[in-house]
Chain A
Amino acid sequence: MNLSSWFAVRRELSPRKRTMLGAGSFLLPLLVWCIVSYVPFVWHPMVLVNNPGDVDYFQVGMLVDKGVFAEESSTMQSLGKILPEGNPANPIYLPAPHEVAKAFYTAFITPPEQHDGQWLHESLWHSVQIIFWGFLISSLIGVPLGILCGTYSAVSRLNEPFIEFFRYLPAPAFGALAVAILGIYDGPKISIIVIGTLFQQVLIIANTTRKLDYALLEAAMTLGTNRIRLLFHVILPGILPELYRDQRILLGWAWTYLIVAELIGTSSGITWFITQQARYQHFDNVYAAIFMIGLLGLGSDQLLARLGKKLFPWDRPANKE
């Protein structure tokens, strides 16, 4: 296997290489994390005390700064007292992979600490519902408006300048307003997702619509297609695969607004879980929850990509492999 075959400019790799590199893209960060966590002389800026010796404020299981530990050790040595003992450790905010892996599992079987709290899967389900409704409402407005903007210049000129302006306004800035209008529960959260997604959606879909080959419209017109039918029988099916791809990207966009949205009003969903766990310094649970969001996002996107191949058998970019 020679090196140049891996670095051919703009050439597709063999399926085996693609799979290997794909796995590598996940394994590489994991490897770095493992090295930092399990190799004692890499980083480890703290010391986990397992015998306090004669240092009066040290306790078993306490994390102290490496420098403080060394200082106290030398003080005890000069006084001729019992030395403290401990192992190098990482700060509490960086748990080792196996701890996070365990938390990933235990988070689902551990009952909530407060009696009115939610199980992890309930929190996740709540978050998924927020995303679903936010994205659905945004799409119900954004997709038709985007297609109309891409089809009729008049609609585009009437809407797009304002949308171009509005999309620069940060969605979280509307948080307080949303709470004032929609209350403190799910309403304002959904509205933040909508505000964050909708304006980009209109512009992206309008652009996709404009990219449809005009010759197809001309061909349809010479076959006697009227204007209304042109929209539903040529433009819509013509852009459908691209529209689907846009929607997948925009769904990812909606996910990025989730945490901010859930902090508004009463904190809820996966965000509530994360902030609660962080408050009790259960950082293994925090990482587990963050990974769960990542897995949900990636998983749903892959699922939609598969579905897209089934739905659009004529779409060449999706069916190239």
Chain B
Amino acid sequence: MKHPQLPSYLDQSETVRDRFARLKQRDVVLEVKDLGKVYKSTKGDVTALKGINFKTHRREFVCVLGPSGCGKSTLIRILAGLESHTSGDVLLDGKPVTGPGRDRGMVFQGYTLFPWLTVKKNVMFGLEMNGTSAFEAGREAELWLELVGLERFANAYPHELSGGMKQRVAIARALVNQPRILLMDEPFGALDAQSRARMQAHLLEIWRNIDITILFITHDLDEAIFLADRILVLKAHPGEVQELIEVPVPRPRHANQSTSPEFLATKARLEALIHPPEPEPDPDAEVKPHMIRFVNVADNVE
């Protein structure tokens, strides 16, 4: 191993252990019991998810991590009520989830802002759909736009905003409904590295200041460790829970923690889970280029 001196990812400092103990004292917001999803396809039944169990406590930040095809998007869509499940239960505050609803806000990777509405009207949308008066909704929207730092863009249309700003609006639009849980499906996947880091820090700050539980899907290991209290690691074919990891990196989190022993230990563990030492046969590995020299022997670039 590269880091023989690394502690185990299971080792937690006193404060971290205390924090997790307190966290588990809180109410369970979301409970997933033996959840399964089977698709009917022409080639027979495909099991997308199988026997998923976990609990999320109030104001917890959970990341769902897994290789492509592990059904993490299917999982979050079932939690949002956008897709049905074939077995098991999803309970929000003990009540089963039957369809989409305002108690579960969702932020999509593709922004999905309404292009015909201004930024402020986008944020007001959820409130107005649920019978709040336009005046009241406008006041609320202004408050939340201020929170994500976009009050200056209240009257801009979504196509005038950058990707990061669009996602801020999407977060404000979901939070203004005061959902019990915020579901985020690879929300920063389409952003460049710089705005991505800024949005991660911004999201943590929102989470710190607001009574909100977050379930965040990602395929980026660093992002998961930086953001999460606990990481739910899925494996593919069929999508099952591999491990629920308690992140030992203390809070508040900083970008410079990414070289701390706890961080590296967790990352090493995640890498071992996501990229197993015996990888499946990769079709790309079969391609063997046969290199021929087309340039003069004296004309070297190295």
**How many angstroms between the C-alpha atoms of A234 and B157 in the bound complex?**
16
Chain B residues, Cβ within 8 Å of A215: 108, 110, 112
Q: Could you tell me which residues of chain B, from 138 to 187, have a CB within 8 Å of some CB in chain A?
A: 157-159, 173-174, 177, 183
**How many angstroms between the C-alpha atoms of A234 and B158 in the bound complex?**
15
Chain B residues, Cβ within 8 Å of A237: 114, 116-117
Q: Does A99 contact B (CB under 8 A)?
A: no
Q: Are A224 and B129 in contact (CB under 8 A)?
A: yes
Q: Does A222 contact B (CB under 8 A)?
A: yes
Chain A residues, Cβ within 8 Å of B100: 218, 221-222, 224
Q: Are A314 and B116 in contact (CB under 8 A)?
A: yes
Would you give the shortest CB distance from B79 to chain A, in whole angstroms?
Answer: 10
Chain B residues, Cβ within 8 Å of A224: 100-102, 126, 129-130, 177
| Dominant secondary structure of chain B at its interface with chain A | loop
**How many angstroms between the C-alpha atoms of A313 and B160 in the bound complex?**
11
Partner of B104, one of A222, A226, A313, A316: A222
Q: Does B70 contact A (CB under 8 A)?
A: no
Q: How many A residues have CB within 8 A of the partner chain?
A: 22
Contact indicator per residue, chain B 113-139, by CB within 8 Å of chain A (1) or not (0): 111110000000110011000000000
Q: Does B190 contact A (CB under 8 A)?
A: no
Chain B residues, Cβ within 8 Å of A314: 115-117, 157-159
Q: Are A238 and B116 in contact (CB under 8 A)?
A: yes
Q: Are B112 and A313 in contact (CB under 8 A)?
A: no
Q: Does B105 contact A (CB under 8 A)?
A: yes
Q: Are B112 and A218 in contact (CB under 8 A)?
A: yes
**How many angstroms between the C-alpha atoms of A238 and B112 in the bound complex?**
12
Chain B residues, Cβ within 8 Å of A213: 112
Q: Does A154 contact B (CB under 8 A)?
A: no
Would you give the shortest CB distance from B254 to chain A, in whole angstroms?
Answer: 32
Would you give the shortest CB distance from A240 to chain B, in whole angstroms?
Answer: 7
Q: Does A223 contact B (CB under 8 A)?
A: yes
Chain B residues, Cβ within 8 Å of A226: 129
Nearest residue (CB) in B for A238 is B116
Q: Are A229 and B82 in contact (CB under 8 A)?
A: no
Q: Are A222 and B106 in contact (CB under 8 A)?
A: yes
Chain B residues, Cβ within 8 Å of A218: 80, 82, 100, 106, 108, 112
Chain A residues, Cβ within 8 Å of B102: 222-224
Q: Are B80 and A222 in contact (CB under 8 A)?
A: yes
Other CB < 8 Å A-B pairs besides A224-B130, A238-B116, A314-B116, 14 of them? Answer: A218-B108, A219-B108, A219-B112, A221-B81, A223-B105, A223-B126, A223-B177, A224-B100, A224-B129, A233-B129, A238-B114, A238-B115, A313-B157, A314-B158
Nearest 4 pairs of A and B residues by beta carbon: A224-B102, A223-B126, A221-B100, A219-B112
Chain A positions within 8 Å of B, measured between CB atoms, are: 213, 215-216, 218-226, 229, 233-234, 237-238, 240, 312-314, 316
